[in-house]
Structure 1
Amino acid sequence: MLELSNLSKRYGDRLALDDVSFTVGAGRLTGFVGGNGAGKTTTMRIVLGVLAADGGRITLDGSPVTDVDRRRFGYMPEERGLYPKMRVLEQTVYLARLHGWAPAAARRNALDLLERLGLQERVDDTVESLSLGNQQRAQIAAALVHRPEVLVLDEPFSGLDPLAVEIVQAVLTDAARSGAPVLFSSHQLDVVERLCDDLVVIADGRIRAAGSREELRDQHGAERWELLLSGDAGWVRDFPGIRVIRFDGGWALFESESEAARQSVLAEAVSRGEVVTFAREQTTLAQIFKEVVR
């Protein structure tokens, strides 16, 4: 488990990180979300040792993270950092070799990873000749080729089309299944919500929410219910203890002042005919994000 405890970072008069604390569980995908300038990249660079924190600490399985530990980390920066004139396979093998892999094993692992990322036909192309999306895939391969024990990715889905997003999702999921803590940032909240086990929301350098998707929905999700009937649902608008938020024919989204009022709505709906759906609305990450960063 990777744990960040009370991290602070100041640039002159600006407090970039203010008491940042959260954990990235072993074998779990943790999405790190926040607006531009919220502190995501600063936090990740401190984890990697690229920046020094002014206060706080980072531990791996309870022990302070050392430079030796960080050699087993995989990192993908938001800015592309590959050698543009090197060929894709040559560069990926080279990076594996820097992490101590033998030549033959490095080549096998690089070829396997590039194939899984859909780059098998581009292995002999230079990085600069690739499309931006394929450069992003190559960057992900560079972060993963040495099979890191901890993975930190800054905007890994940037510039990827929907098919490429699915491919990268599968590769990251496999990395987590191997037991690695995986932390990644993204502005694509729908992708984060679909992929992650845990979520961390940061704004103005402070953690506003952290936990599993289910925990965040319980803590921050609105208590709203959906009712779908085979007939008209207009009567719900006049039902005691109910506030209808949206209504369309046989469908209504509403809040109730009590469980008793909600159960009364259900009983009335059953008495009127077929109830197709009666369920709590699934709060989205976008809704939670808007609530906690206000």
Structure 2
Amino acid sequence: MGAREVGLPDRVVGEDLPDRVTIWEVGPRDGLQNEDSVVPVAVKLEFLDRLADAGGTILEATSFVHPKWVPQLADAEELLAGLDRRPGVEYPVLVPNERGLDRALKAGVSHIAIFASATETFANKNLNSTLDDQFGMFDPVVARAKAEGLKVRGYVSMCFGDPWEGPVPRDQVVGVGKKLLDLGCDQLSLGDTIGVATPGQVTGLISGFDRVDQLAVHFHDTYGQALSNTYAALLAGVRTVDSSAGGLGGCPYAESATGNLATEDLVWMLDGLGIAHGVDLDKLCDTSAWMAERLGRPSPSRVVRALRG
């Protein structure tokens, strides 16, 4: 049964909301990176093709993290070599350091992302660095990337809560974000890595930044707050939202984490609010149902389950 056979949400345009939102699709990278069984590169390439066919314009393709740490993405060079790069579609990749940037430049990428921490403990555990010293690692990466004409996104993890430190002070997160912007990042993605944020926190954090047009949001749905938090971010002026097709992904730092905000769930809400985004919900649901079959389990997305059974 197709999406239009069961109906789409009635469109009631909300006040103080954007006319259009950019969906930053993280399923191929963030969604698949925690899968226990290795997904064949041919399946990943078809996944990217299907997402592009569904109207995705920013598809985060892979990561140049060392294969020892993320075996699922050890095929980054092979994937990018086989990628059918569509006109009008960007395929960002995550790079952890200068070695990763070297690999990315050799593969011909035009858009990279770096991954920073808003807390001391996570910087130590994930980056083998301190909260302050991480910027010394990122500085040459961003400088070289910008000199090569690449766009650079800065992810900030643990923006709302840390499993070791608890709630994270707003000023600490804002300080990390502003330093990344000062290094030359074009955009910041504020991450609720363990899914504990609530809308008031989201509004408060966004208000600490001078330019909301440089911000994106990245929510996990551990406590069922991802859509509520996204709505709060849109009201606060954010125009770019990260999401994962089919709700793929999870967080190794919270046992109850249920993964990223599902792109289908986001699209359903945006459609109901009359906000343009360019993604075909029917094709997207088909894509996520197809991927769920290959992973051998149902899609976590509520919209996919409602429309595809």
Q: Which interval holds the TM-score relative to the shorter structure?
A: 0.3 to 0.5
Given the two structures, how large is their TM-score scaled by the length of structure 2? Answer: 0.37
Q: Which has the larger radius of gyration?
A: 1
Going by fraction, where is strand more abundant, 1 or 2? Answer: 1
